[in-house]
Amino acid sequence: MSIPLLSTLIFFPVLGGLSLLIVPRQQIATIRLMALLISLIEFLLCLPALLLFDKTTYLMQFQEHHPWIKALNINYALGIDGISVLFLLLTALIIVLSILVSWESITHKVQEFFVALLVLEGAMMGVFCATDFFLFYIFWEAMLIPMFLIIGVWGGPKRIYATVKFFLYTLVGSLLMLVGIILLYQNGGHTFDILQLAGQPYSLKLQLILFWAFFAAFAVKVPMWPVHTWLPDAHTEAPAAGSVILAGVLIKMGAYGFLRFSLPILPDATQQMLLPMLILSVIAIVYGAIICLAQTDLKRLIAYSSVSHMGFVTLGLFALNQRGLEGGILQMINHGVVTGALFLAIGMIYERTHTREIVAYGGLASTMPVFAGFFLLFTLAAVGLPGTNGFIGEFLILLGGFERLPWTAVIAASGLILGAWYMLWLYQRIFFNEIKESMRGLVELNLREILTLLPMVLLIFWIGLYPNALLGFLHVSVGHLLDQVNGVGLAGTLLVPGLIPPP
């Protein structure tokens, strides 16, 4: 293409968001419409990347490369492969739906809110497109600012505590990653180019140091156990749009970091750390599911379920085989759709009831049957019902885990049972049981809210019934990634020979 597509995807929402500042702040309807139009155009701009993408090659496509800081060999370098292209579309869709769900719920500083959303979209697009490690870090840190504001300004009563906790966790991890980037630059031929760095030999000692430096940033973002505690607080206090973006895109950045950097650049360290990473993943699956059973707040329950579901993702990634990796990446998309949909629905009911306490609900199936139908579909997808998108991702992950270490798949499968327990129990308490007096006069979903939830329903069944629509993008790129990781090691064999069999 003659136009710089990826740069357009990054800077169009940023410039569009800043353009909202010239609209008088009292013209709230105009600001909302402009924000929605900008997000819809951004979504349409993502379609060429998907439709023109060549699935037969692992090479980066739609590349852009311009010298930036020549003295340090830093370049403005962009490109996407079969892994990152899917996240561009997911990001664009999530922002559209976040604007729709915020249409009436955000009533103060409306202009600033939509500016923050659109600037955040541009930064997230940059993370998935950057092929220069320094540029990636700039976008990675840029995401922190608008998300900090979204939670801190428009969040709940404990928003300051949640925001500071979110900021400190991510900042510490990011600083350690910066140290790792500098070490990699010094030992990788004084370049920040991701593709060149992946082709350099590094000692095992250096790889292990870099692995843990990157782990500090990526594990916090996932979030993996035990560095997950910021997520429930951030979700609980964030406005509906903030929770949707956190669940739909932001926590995928950590897993994407493992895919883009840790696995291809540090193959020997990845092999060495395979067993600890699988153990942490399994712990997250079971721990997150058990904690969900004790939650009394709607958002906290879904937040802890994210810890469990993202444990499945990291289990798939570190199974280091075709099924596990493809299942892990697909589950990242699926989790963004399903958990994003659940937070959308919770935001809609919160607007009516102004409470997230589960005990305050009951009998909503009789007062809001359409809403009950939508929530039932999202619940079934969350528990992995066959025919929904949640099933195929978890199925591939369990296959990959069993192929790598059978006991990890067996323990992870218990997380599926616990997941069905807490989600179906949640549904029963909210929509059945005895109807509460405060719930009798609730208004059914309006057209805007139905149109907000409908794309998620379509994706749940489309991916669930025809997963190859997405898996087709992954086959070649994942195969190449496995070639990089499972090639001849540069610094030795597995830490515990024979304990972790080859894929």
What does the pLDDT look like over 361-376, one tens digit per residue?
888 888 889 999 999 9
Residue 73 is classified by DSSP as T
C-alpha dihedral, 186 to 190 to 195 to 196, nearest 10° = -100
Which residue shows structure tokens 């840190």?
141
Q: How confident is the model at residue 492 (pLDDT cuts 50, 70, 90)?
A: very low
Rg (CA), the chain: 22
Question: What's residue 491's pLDDT?
Answer: 38
Q: Flag whether 127 is in a domain.
A: no
Phi, psi of 498 (to 5 degrees): 90, -25
Which residue shows structure tokens 């990675």?
140
Higher confidence at residue 437 or residue 56? Answer: 56
By the 8 A CB rule, do 464 and 392 touch?
A: yes
By the 8 A CB rule, do 286 and 315 touch?
A: no
Question: What's residue 203's pLDDT?
Answer: 87
Number of domains present in the structure of the chain: 1
Integer Cα distance of 270 and 293 in angstroms:
33
Q: How confident is the model at residue 486 (pLDDT cuts 50, 70, 90)?
A: confident
Decide if pLDDT at 330 tops 70: yes
Question: What's residue 120's pLDDT?
Answer: 95
pLDDT tens column, 264-311: 998 889 888 899 999 999 999 999 999 999 888 888 999 899 899 999
Say what angle helices 144-154 and 159-187 make with each other, to 10 degrees.
170
By the 8 A CB rule, do 126 and 142 touch?
A: yes
Question: What's residue 76's pLDDT?
Answer: 93
Burial class (CB in 10 A: 0-12, 13-18, 19+), 225: buried
Decide if pLDDT at 321 tops 50: yes
Which residue shows structure tokens 């998300």?
147
Integer Cα distance of 225 and 204 in angstroms:
25
- Over residues 138-165, the mean pLDDT reads 88
Q: Flag whether 320 is in a domain.
A: yes
Residues above pLDDT 70, as percent of the chain: 96
For residue 267, is the peptide bond before it cis, meaning its omega torsion is within 30 degrees of 0? no
Instruction: Flag the least confident range among 42-46, 139-143, 154-158, 452-456.
Output: 154-158
Q: Give 293-360 as a DSSP string.
A: TT--BHHHHHHHHHHHHHHHHHHHHTT-SHHHHHHHHHHHHHHHHHHHHHHHHHHHHHHHH---BGGG
Integer Cα distance of 142 and 144 in angstroms:
5
> Whole domain around residue 456: which residue ranges?
284-503
Burial class (CB in 10 A: 0-12, 13-18, 19+), 423: buried
Question: What's residue 230's pLDDT?
Answer: 85
Name the strand (E) or helix (H) holding 69: strand 61-69
Q: How confident is the model at residue 223 (pLDDT cuts 50, 70, 90)?
A: confident
Question: What's residue 2's pLDDT?
Answer: 64
Tokens of 308: 């469990």
User: Quick count: other Cβ atoms within 10 Å of Cβ 190?
Assistant: 9
Q: Flag whether 60 is in a domain.
A: no
By the 8 A CB rule, do 397 and 328 touch?
A: yes
Closest by CA to 227, choosing from 290, 299, 169, 311, is 169
Mean pLDDT across the chain: 88
Say what angle helices 144-154 and 110-129 make with each other, to 10 degrees.
150
Using alpha carbons, list the distances in angstroms from residue 437 to 185, 271, 346, 353, 367: 63, 58, 20, 12, 11
Tokens of 157: 């009563």
Q: Give 83-140 as a DSSP string.
A: THHHHHHHHHHHHHHHHHHTTTT--SSHHHHHHHHHHHHHHHHHHHHB-BHHHHHHHH
Q: Flag whether 93 is in a domain.
A: no
Q: How confident is the model at residue 94 (pLDDT cuts 50, 70, 90)?
A: very high
Which residue shows structure tokens 């099933």?
391
Decide if pLDDT at 18 tops 50: yes
Closest by CA to 297, choosing from 246, 355, 378, 239, is 355
Q: Flag whether 310 is in a domain.
A: yes
By the 8 A CB rule, do 287 and 416 touch?
A: no
Q: Give 437-455 as a DSSP string.
A: GGGTTPPPP-HHHHHHHHH
Closest by CA to 379, choosing from 403, 348, 345, is 345
Integer Cα distance of 310 and 318 in angstroms:
12
- Over residues 154-178, the mean pLDDT reads 87
Give the Cα-Cα-Cα angle 386, 381, 328 (nearest 5 degrees): 85
Integer Cα distance of 328 and 175 in angstroms:
27
User: Quick count: other Cβ atoms within 10 Å of Cβ 199?
Assistant: 12
Q: Flag whether 353 is in a domain.
A: yes
Q: How confident is the model at residue 75 (pLDDT cuts 50, 70, 90)?
A: very high
Maximal CA-CA distance, the chain:
70
Q: Flag whether 364 is in a domain.
A: yes
Integer Cα distance of 240 and 344 in angstroms:
6
Integer Cα distance of 367 and 348 in angstroms:
14
Q: Flag whether 336 is in a domain.
A: yes
